[in-house]
């Protein structure tokens, strides 16, 4: 498929400017963002950069799409939190946690 991945790390908010410059200089065909709460917090900056740079983006959280990102793919965190309430209820009623089945997310963003 001849896909080349370019990793650009951002650990502090002030690093976004440099990261965006690195990405722009590479002239990629698309932008993908990994799941991270820090990145989620700064989604407006990322979406603005992608829009300005005319980069289609794939994002890990639905909130990116709600704010103008192209698409998101990942589990529905709201659904996972709702399902966890079922587990808490069972544990509080005496079921041993080790006896509960492990579940995979069943719906996605």
Reading the chain (109 residues) residue by residue, the pLDDT tens digits are: 888 899 999 999 999 999 999 999 999 999 999 999 999 999 999 999 999 999 999 999 999 999 999 999 988 888 888 888 989 999 999 999 999 988 776 665 5
CB of 108 within 8 A of CB of 75?
A: yes
**Four-CA torsion 14, 17, 23, 25, nearest 10 degrees:** -140
Closest residue by Cα to residue 28 from 5, 51, 1, 49: 5
Predicted confidence at residue 51, as pLDDT, reads 95
Detail the DSSP E strand segments found in the chain. 31-32, 57-59, 71-72
pTM of the model: 0.75
């Amino acid at each position: 498929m001849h896909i080349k991945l370019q990793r650009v790390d951002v650990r502090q908010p002030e690093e976004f400017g440099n990261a965006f410059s690195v990405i722009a200089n590479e002239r990629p065909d698309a932008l993908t963002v990994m799941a991270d709460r820090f990145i989620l917090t700064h989604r407006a900056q990322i979406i603005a950069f992608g829009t300005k740079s005319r980069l289609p983006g794939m994002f890990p959280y639905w909130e990116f799409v709600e704010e103008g990102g192209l698409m998101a793919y990942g589990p529905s965190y709201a659904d996972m939190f709702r399902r966890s309430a079922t587990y808490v209820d069972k544990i509080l009623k005496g079921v041993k946690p080790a006896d509960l089945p492990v579940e995979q997310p069943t719906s996605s963003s």
